């Protein structure tokens, strides 16, 4: 196969907020779009704030036809499920530093999938549309005028095809859950399902804190491919999608806490770059990490460090951005995917145990 990487934008300056359109002006099938956004942190710090917090939506559109639509947090969660790792990130709270994040849009089952890709020639005016609003703050956001955007289309020139379709991923049902309420959400029946996700996003809370169970009912319970309670959901998330790792540089003193994007952590470590200091992990409450920081410059009389120092956290786990995934068989085998268009009814059922920010994300194959 002959491939080509096409820059659609490179280090293009972004206003602090807005809606940015990038025309998908390529003549070859696109296997993947790589989107990089960077900004300079505030002059003092950028406490517990990342670029993905400020990405309202990343979409691929053709007029009113939406081919892809997720926000920044959802894109991280989806990458963790489908790639089994997070895209490259430089997450730092240090003042005046560069924070950078990568967001991936896959149109195929994997990079350079010869059968599934987005062919721009089949659309009238395909565009990438990014809606964002960088938080401008000296202590908990970014410096004004420092946003930059790079977009790369990873294309196939020869050795592919015939193209059968492309993966279409969209968030369908944003809602705020009410604790102890039962939900039954009607899902679309237009294209086959490759992956279904429930987003249950609530800081300091994991799967068992947010939902009692997940149940997928087809044709009024004639077929129930999934009915899993929280304990088994946790096990299967790890079994199906593995664990991912995230690194974050934080600026904290003793008796402080911060958040990662991993809501079901398995291991969290923290080290400090400050000379003659020791940092300890004192508690991990899902995505919340609490630390102790000690000044050891006088070893005989160690002291609590009340001035913020640079520390590096490495977290490993799953449920990134609160996403719980339900795959349909082998993600690389279209014969396993759910033929939604042949069903009379598809419903996702669950009981909310907390008031979380929710959404339903579906990855489908569209011809």
DSSP per-residue letters across 17-38: EEEEEEE---SS-EEEEEEEEE
97 Cβ neighbours under 8 A, 6+ residues apart: 40, 41, 46, 249
Looking at the chain, the whole-number percentage of residues with pLDDT higher than 90 is 99
* The pLDDT of residue 304: 97
Query: What 3-state DSSP class applies to 339?
Result: coil
The predicted structure's pLDDT at residue 97:
98
Confidence (pLDDT) at 11 = 98
Report pLDDT for 182.
98
Class of domain 2-168: mainly beta
Q: What are the tens digits of pLDDT across the range 76-108?
A: 999 999 999 999 999 999 999 999 999 999 999
pTM: 0.96
| Percent of the chain whose predicted confidence (pLDDT) is above 70 | 100
- The whole-number average pLDDT for the span 327-352 is 98
pLDDT recorded at residue 271: 98
Q: How confident is the model at residue 23 (pLDDT cuts 50, 70, 90)?
A: very high
58 touches 75 (CB < 8 A): yes
Residue-wise pLDDT tens digits, 297-338: 999 999 999 999 999 999 999 999 999 999 999 999 999 999
Query: What distance in Å separates the CA atoms of residue 332 and residue 351, rounded to the nearest whole number?
Result: 31
* pLDDT tens digits, one per residue of 228-243: 999 999 999 999 999 9
Strand 65-70, strand 166-171: pairing: parallel
Pairwise CA distance, residues 218 & 241, whole Å: 24
Count of Cβ atoms closer than 10 Å to residue 156 Cβ: 23
Average pLDDT in the chain: 98
Instruction: Give per-residue pLDDT as tens, 164-186.
Output: 999 999 999 999 999 999 999 99
Class of domain 172-367: mainly beta
Residue 341 contacts residue 185 (beta carbons within 8 Å): no
Tell me the pLDDT band of 41, cut-offs 50, 70 and 90: very high
What's the pLDDT score for residue 202?
Answer: 98
Quick check: bond before 162 cis, omega within 30? yes
> Domain boundaries in the chain?
2-168, 172-367
- Report the alpha-carbon distance of residue 52 to residue 62 in Å, rounded: 24
């Amino acid at each position: 196969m002959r491939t080509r990487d096409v820059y659609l934008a490179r280090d293009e300056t972004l206003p602090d907020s807005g809606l940015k359109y990038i025309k998908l002006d390529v003549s070859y099938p696109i296997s993947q779009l790589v989107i990089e956004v960077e900004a300079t942190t505030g002059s003092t710090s950028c406490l517990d704030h990342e670029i993905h917090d400020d990405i309202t939506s990343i979409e691929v559109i053709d007029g009113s036809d939406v081919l892809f639509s997720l926000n920044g947090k959802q894109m991280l969660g989806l990458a963790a499920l489908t790639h089994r790792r997070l895209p490259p990130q430089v997450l730092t709270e240090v003042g005046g530093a560069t924070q950078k994040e990568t967001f991936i849009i896959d149109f195929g089952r994997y990079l350079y999938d010869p059968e599934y890709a987005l062919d721009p020639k089949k659309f009238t005016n395909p565009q990438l549309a990014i809606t964002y609003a960088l938080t401008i703050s000296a202590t908990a956001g970014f410096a004004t005028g420092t946003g930059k955007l790079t977009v790369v289309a990873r294309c196939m020139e020869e050795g592919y095809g015939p193209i059968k379709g492309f993966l279409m991923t969209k968030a369908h049902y944003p809602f705020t859950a009410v604790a102890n309420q039962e939900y039954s959400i009607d899902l679309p029946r237009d294209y086959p399902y490759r992956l279904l996700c429930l987003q249950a996003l609530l800081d300091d809370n994991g799967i068992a804190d947010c939902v009692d169970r997940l149940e997928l009912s087809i044709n009024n319970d004639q077929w129930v491919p999934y009915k899993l309670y929280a304990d088994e959901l946790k096990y299967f998330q790890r079994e199906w999608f593995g664990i991912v790792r995230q690194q974050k540089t934080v600026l904290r003193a003793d008796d402080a806490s911060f958040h990662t994007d991993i809501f079901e952590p398995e291991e969290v470590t923290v080290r400090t770059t400050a000379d003659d200091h020791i940092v300890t992990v004192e508690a991990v409450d899902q995505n919340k990490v609490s630390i102790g920081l000690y000044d050891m410059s006088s070893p005989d009389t160690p002291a609590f460090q009340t001035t913020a120092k640079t520390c590096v956290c490495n977290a490993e786990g799953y449920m990134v951005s609160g996403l719980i995934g339900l795959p349909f068989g082998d993600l690389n085998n279209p014969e396993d995917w759910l033929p939604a268009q042949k069903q009379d009814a598809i419903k996702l059922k669950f009981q909310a145990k907390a008031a979380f920010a929710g959404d339903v994300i579906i990855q489908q194959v569209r011809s």
